[in-house]
């Protein structure tokens, strides 16, 4: 275990901002985690890869960076396998492991940054698949009582980029591992997403072919956070009702929309942001990514506060232009 007092958060967040915290514990063992949780007083933040967090000020508390490792097979038969993955595993390393072993279900989620323990928090999703599609349960510890728990999928209240861990259980638990159901045969290849469908129409499908294509598409659209600080999509795609959709479409007939049900439509926040001219706005330090305006980027030395101010300017403008309230996907601290 490593303890960093008066620590810089720069290497702990993919926005690459230089805030500080009272203390950061880098914890590899659950037994150490329990000891720290029982000793610490004050505010606690559990941190994985820091790829969905914007620090806008000093964190006056303790950060626990969970780094426990391991992938264990719980049970399997000829068609499926239940695996338990420790929270500190890198998500994409786990996807690579699954694809290499021909275990299906996570290939569309290739190259999402961050750690396994954070995957249930916002029910990570990409290219037509969400974590909930393969999720079985997660295990963890309650921060107030130190009681261990296992929560099944039905208890986690998963929805679009949301779960019980962002609502009722926000800041109340640490997830130590998750269990996922993967296929061993009769894989359900999911290529309904437009670009996947087009690019893979002449290929014989396999988990590796899909994973490679997802990686190719992601690399063409998203900045690599190792060179350009960012947290992926800053806002969720808004869901609006039919009457609002009709109203906006009357003025902007080219507004894309995806039907969820007869009265609910998801619209791309990226479109709203681009239409509001934000590709040309921003400053020397902050802006939106040219290939994907939903991604706010740190152009070098932005502070968290500068990034937040720019995000708020986007929110304000979208509300003025379209009467739509954008909601952050990223946790603001
Ligand atoms: C370039 C880029 C692309 C991205 N693309 C996608 C995408 O396609 N789809 C998508 O869904 N997301 C995407 N993201 C967002 C991000 O990668 C995911 O949300 C990821 O799951 C965050 O993992 P993390 O370990 O970095 O979490 P962190 O940023 O460290 O934490 C995020 C939240 O989870 C909590 N948390 C973390 N670990 C635990 C734990 N063990 N127990 C309890 N709480 C915990 C934190 O307190 C915080 O509230 C992208 C980000 C980047 C930078």
Ligand 1 pocket residue status of 230, Cβ below 6 Å: yes
Please give the share of the chain, as a percent, with pLDDT higher than 90.
94
pLDDT value, residue 101: 97
Query: Would you say residue 7 has pLDDT above 90?
Result: no
**Pocket of ligand 1, candidates 93, 118, 156, 162: which has the most ligand atoms within 8 Å of its Cβ, to mutate?**
118
Nearest CA to ligand 1 atom 12: 124
276 exposure class (CB count in 10 Å sphere: 0-12, 13-18, 19+)? middle
Query: Is residue 4 predicted with pLDDT exceeding 90?
Result: no
Burial class (CB in 10 A: 0-12, 13-18, 19+), 244: middle
Residue with tokens 């514990």: 25
For the ranges 54-58, 209-213, 282-286, which has the lowest average pLDDT?
Answer: 282-286
**What mean pLDDT is reported for the chain?**
95
- pLDDT > 70: percent of the chain: 100
- Residue listed under structure tokens 């698949």: 129
Q: Is the CB of 231 under 6 A from ligand 1?
A: yes
- Give 177's pLDDT tier (boundaries 50, 70, 90): very high
Question: Which two structure tokens, joined as six digits, stand for 133?
Answer: 């599609």
pLDDT at position 31 over 90: yes
Residue nearest to atom 34 of ligand 1 (CA): 118
* Distances from the Cα of 26 to the Cα of 56, 71, 196, 202, 223, angstroms: 22, 20, 38, 46, 27
d(CA 180, CA 244): 38
271: which 2 tokens? 């479109």
Examine the pLDDT at 21 and tell me if it is beyond 90.
yes
Find out if CATH 3.30.465.10 is the number for domain 71-221.
yes
Q: Are 149 and 186 in contact (CB under 8 A)?
A: no
Q: What CATH number was assigned to the domain covering residues 2-66?
A: 3.30.43.10
Residue with CA nearest ligand 1 atom 3: 232
Q: Which tops the pLDDT comparison, 5 or 257? A: 257
Contact 290, 197 (CB under 8 A): no
CA distances from 146 to 32, 38, 39, 118, 166 (A): 13, 7, 11, 19, 19
pLDDT of residue 326: 97
Ligand 1 touching residue 68 (CB < 6 A): no
Residue 80 pLDDT: 97
Closest CA to 191 of 176, 177, 209, 165: 209
b/e per residue, 187-211, with b = 16+ CB within 10 A?
A: beebbebeebeebbeeeeeebebbb
Is the pLDDT confidence value at 325 over 90?
yes
Pairing outcome for strands 125-126 and 80-86 = unpaired
Tell me if 251 sits within 8 A of 322, measured CB to CB: no
| Res 282 pLDDT > 90 | no
pLDDT at 1 over 90: no
For ligand 1, is residue 120 a contact (CB within 6 Å)?
no
Query: Taking the domains of the chain in order of start, what are their residue ranges?
Result: 2-66, 71-221, 229-332
CA distance 230 to 33: 29
* Measured distance CA(173)–CA(45) in Å, rounded: 10
Summarised one tens digit per residue, pLDDT across range 62-81 is: 999 999 999 999 999 999 99
Topology of 229-332 in CATH? Answer: 3.90.78
Question: If pLDDT is split at 50, 70 and 90, which confidence band does 5 have?
Answer: confident
> Among 30, 52, 304, which residue has the most ligand 1 atoms within 8 Å of its CB, making it the best to mutate?
52
Two tokens, residue 202: 């002449």
Q: Which pLDDT belongs to residue 189?
A: 96
Section 222-251 average pLDDT: 95
The residues carrying an active-site annotation are 161, 233, 329
Residue 232 predicted with pLDDT over 90? yes
Angle between helices 91-100 and 207-221 (to 10 degrees): 150
Nearest-CA neighbor of 162 among 48, 301, 329? 329
Helix ranges restricted to H, the chain:
30-39, 91-100, 194-199, 207-221, 242-251, 269-275, 304-322
CB 294 less than 6 A from any atom of ligand 1: no
pTM to 2 decimals? Answer: 0.95
The pLDDT of 192-217, averaged and rounded, is: 94
129 lines ligand 1 (CB under 6 A): no
What's the rounded mean pLDDT across residues 100-119?
Answer: 98
How many CB atoms neighbour CB 254 within 10 A?
7
3-state SS class at 139 = strand
Partners of 141 in beta bridges: 148, 174
What H or E segment, with its residue span, contains residue 105? none
* CB 269, CB 276: distance < 8 Å: no
| Ligand 1 centroid from CA 62, angstroms | 19
Q: Is the dihedral of CA 284, 58, 164, 92 positive or negative?
A: positive
């Amino acid at each position: 275990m490593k303890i960093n007092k008066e620590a810089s958060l720069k290497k702990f967040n993919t926005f690459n901002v230089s805030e500080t915290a009272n203390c950061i514990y880098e914890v590899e063992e659950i037994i150490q985690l329990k000891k720290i949780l029982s000793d610490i007083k004050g505010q606690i933040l559990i941190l994985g890869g820091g790829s969905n967090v914007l620090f806008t000020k000093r964190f006056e508390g303790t950060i626990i960076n969970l780094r426990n490792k391991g992938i264990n097979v719980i049970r399997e038969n000829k068609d499926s396998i239940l695996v338990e993955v420790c929270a500190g595993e890198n998500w994409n390393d786990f996807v690579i492991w699954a694809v290499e072993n021909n275990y299906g279900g996570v290939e569309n989620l290739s190259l999402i940054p961050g750690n396994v323990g954070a995957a249930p928090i916002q029910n990570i999703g990409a290219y037509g698949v969400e974590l909930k599609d393969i999720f079985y349960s997660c295990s963890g510890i309650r921060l107030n009582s130190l009681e261990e728990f296992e929560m099944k999928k039905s208890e986690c209240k998963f929805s679009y980029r949301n779960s019980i861990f962002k609502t009722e259980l926000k800041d109340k638990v640490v997830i130590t591992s998750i269990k996922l159901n993967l296929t061993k045969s009769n894989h359900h290849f999911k290529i309904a997403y437009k670009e996947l469908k087009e690019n893979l129409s002449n290929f014989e499908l396999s988990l590796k072919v899909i994973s490679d294509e997802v990686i190719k598409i992601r690399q063409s659209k998203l900045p690599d956070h190792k060179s350009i600080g960012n947290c992926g999509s800053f806002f969720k795609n808004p869901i609006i009702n039919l009457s609002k959709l009709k109203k906006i479409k009357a003025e902007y007939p080219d507004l894309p929309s995806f039907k969820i049900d007869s009265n609910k439509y998801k619209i791309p926040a990226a479109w709203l942001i681009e239409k509001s001219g934000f590709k040309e706005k921003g400053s020397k330090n902050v802006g939106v990514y040219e290939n994907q305006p939903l991604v706010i980027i740190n152009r070098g030395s932005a502070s968290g506060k500068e990034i937040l101010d720019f995000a708020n300017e986007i929110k304000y403008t979208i509300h003025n232009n379209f009467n739509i309230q954008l909601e952050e996907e990223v946790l603001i601290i």
